[in-house]
Amino acid sequence: MKVAIVEDEEQSQELLKGYLAKYGKIHNLIFNVVVFKNGLDLVSEYSADYDLIFMDIVMSFMDGIETAKVLRKLDKNVSLVFVTNMAKFAIKGYEVDAAGFLVKPFTYTEFALKMDKIIARMTKRESDAFCIKLDIGLAKVYISDIIYVRVEGRNVSLHTFNGDMVMRKPMKDVEKLLENHKFVRCDNSYLVNLAFVTSIGKTSAIVAGEEVPVSRAKRKKFMDALTLYLGKVF
């Protein structure tokens, strides 16, 4: 796992590195740790291949909350843990989808409990992914990030929060791949993630702010599936 520590206090840097080493030894995990002294250094040379980031909140140049807001524009998936001596900032963490807080001073036991939750969350997310072949190589796609799938000739386009990706398979194959993940056809050319449907009109639906067609032939099945999904959620 690639881990970033964004912390300007050397003592705190060493503490986190030591705790990671201990946790890795106990749980048979290897951590590749990179240290940044402030948030500006992190975002100015950021590459979206980190699994986990520990970040102080009170730092020079750019504080942790502002850094996290920039970070989320670059990487929506990385797990982020704030390390701070100010618990009052906890509410701010929800704005940037933080995985949690560690309030200084914290023990190894507190650190390990937080890591257990993060690893479990990451493991579950990895089971919600598959790889597709692109012209530039393999890309990992998280099913929960797919908003809808659209037919494009003999292929399909996966419309995600991280952009569109063409999958060189027919729609029926992709529909089978996603059949247990709350995806339903609303039209011959569209397969929609029910989690992002916000409204339905006579001939269309709004999905994550975009209008997609709902055909007469697919409307009843689509409505039934959405009603069933909403019943489970609420």
**With DSSP H G I counted as helix, E B as strand and the rest as coil, what are the percentages for the chain, rounded to 5?**
40, 30, 25
Q: What does CATH list as the number for 129-233?
A: 2.40.50.1020
Which parts of 131-215 fold into alpha helices (H)?
171-177
Q: What's residue 138's pLDDT? A: 66
222 secondary structure, DSSP code: H
77 secondary structure, DSSP code: S
Q: What's residue 175's pLDDT? A: 92
Examine the pLDDT at 40 and tell me if it is beyond 70. yes
pLDDT greater at residue 141 or residue 156: 156
Share of the chain above pLDDT 90, in %: 44
Q: What's residue 215's pLDDT? A: 96
Share of the chain above pLDDT 70, in %: 91
Rounded to the nearest 5°, which phi and psi values hold at 198? -110, -20
pLDDT greater at residue 3 or residue 136: 3
Residue 48: other Cβ atoms inside 10 A: 11
Compute the mean pLDDT over every residue in the chain, rounded to the nearest whole number: 86
End-to-end, the C-alpha distance of the chain in Å comes to: 35
- Of the candidates 231, 226, 222, the residue with the CA atom closest to the CA atom of residue 198: 226
Q: What's residue 42's pLDDT? A: 87
Examine the pLDDT at 102 and tell me if it is beyond 60. yes
Q: Which CATH class is domain 2-126?
A: alpha beta
Q: What's residue 11's pLDDT? A: 93
Q: Band of the pLDDT at 234, cuts 50, 70, 90?
A: very low
Examine the pLDDT at 90 and tell me if it is beyond 60. no
Examine the pLDDT at 33 and tell me if it is beyond 60. yes
Tell me the DSSP string of 79-107.
EEEEEES-GGGHHHHGGGT--EEEESS--
Q: What's residue 139's pLDDT? A: 72
Q: Where are the domains of the chain?
A: 2-126, 129-233
| Tens digit of each residue's pLDDT (9 = 90 or more) over 183-223 | 999 999 999 999 899 999 999 999 999 999 999 999 999 99
d(CA 70, CA 171) in angstroms, rounded, equals 36
CA torsion sign, 111 to 140 to 170 to 200?
positive
Q: What's residue 136's pLDDT? A: 58
Examine the pLDDT at 15 and tell me if it is beyond 70. yes
Examine the pLDDT at 224 and tell me if it is beyond 90. yes
| Tens digit of each residue's pLDDT (9 = 90 or more) over 124-135 | 776 777 877 776
